[in-house]
Amino acid sequence: MVDHVKMPLNIMLAGFGGQGILFAGKLIAYAGMIDGHEISWLPSYGPEMRGGTANCSVSISDEAIGSPLVTEPDVFIAMNLPSYERFIDTVRPGGVVIVDETMVGACTLRSDVDYHPIPATEIAENSGLKGLANVLLVGKMLAVTGFSTEATLSVAIEKSVSAKRLDLVELNRKAIALGADIPDSDACRA
C-alpha cells in the first residue's frame, strides 16, 4: 500500500471482449467520483472491439481532465496476452502493471515497472466468482495503489450493477476483498 496516490492517475485496462474490462474501468471511475475527484472513462468502440479485444482509459485527477485517452498509463491492468503486448511499452517507467496470470502468463515483465501478476481467472473460478476476475484485479489495484477504499468501491458497485441483478452486488464486493488479499505470484521469480 502506498501512502500517497499521485494525481492525476491514468489507468489503462485491456483484455478480450466479455471479460468485463469496461465494467472494471467503470468501478474505478465511480470510486474516483465518489471520492470527490474529477474522472473520465473512455472505452474502445472501434474495430478492435469488433475483433474481440476491448480496452478502456480511466483518469482520476484533482484538476479538469484534458484528453480522456490514456497514452502513458500509471496503472495498466491486462487480462490477455495480445492486450498485454500492445500496451506494456506505453506504461510510464515506475508504473504499476497488474496482470491476470491465468490469461497472460507470469514472466514477460519489464524491469522498470512495479509488476503484480495474480492468477485472477483461476482463483475467481475456484472461489465461486466465475466471471469476476476483472473485479479481483480491481481489488488488487486497490491493494497495490491505495487509489480509493474498499468502502467507496462498495458504493461504486451498488451504482454500477444493474438494479435487476442486485444478487451480483455481494459477489462483486467479495471479489474486491479477495483480489486485495491475493499475493503476487512468485511463479516467475528468479
Partner 1 sequence: MAEKVLMKGNEALAEAALRAGCRYFFGYPITPQTELAAYMAKRMPKVGGIYLQAESEVAAINMVYGASAAGARVMTSSSSPGVSLKGEGISYMIGADLPAVIINVQRGGPGLGGIQPSQADYWMATRAPGHGDGHVVVFAPSTVQEMSDLVASAFDLGDKYRVPVMILADGMLGQMMEPVALPEPTDVQSLPEKAWATNGHGGKRPHNIVNSLYLVAQQLEDTVVERSLRYSRIKEEEQIAEAYLTEDAEIVLVAYGAAARISRSAVAKAREMGIKAGLIRPITLWPFPVNTIDTIVPVAKAFLTVELSMGQMVEDVRLAVNGRRPVSFFGHTGGIIPTPDEVLTAIQRVASGEQLDLVPYQSKLTGGAR
Binding site for partner 1 (CB under 8 A): 26, 29-30, 33, 38-43, 45-47, 64-69, 71, 159
H-type alpha helices, the chain:
21-34, 47-50, 81-87, 101-104, 120-126, 133-145, 150-160, 167-181
- Report the nearest approach of partner 1 to the CB of residue 10 (Å): 12
Question: Within 10 Å of residue 94's Cβ, how many Cβ atoms?
Answer: 10
Q: Which is nearer to partner 1, 22 or 143 (CB)?
A: 22
Contacts by 126-131, CB closer than 8 A, 24 or more apart? 127/174, 127/178, 129/171, 129/174, 129/175, 129/178, 131/20
Q: Cα 178 to chain center, whole Å?
A: 14
Q: Which is nearer to partner 1, 40 or 152 (CB)?
A: 40
Radius of gyration of the chain (CA): 15
- Report the nearest approach of partner 1 to the CB of residue 179 (Å): 22
Q: Which is nearer to partner 1, 44 or 108 (CB)?
A: 44
- Report the nearest approach of partner 1 to the CB of residue 80 (Å): 22
- Report the nearest approach of partner 1 to the CB of residue 38 (Å): 8
Q: Which is nearer to partner 1, 34 or 137 (CB)?
A: 34
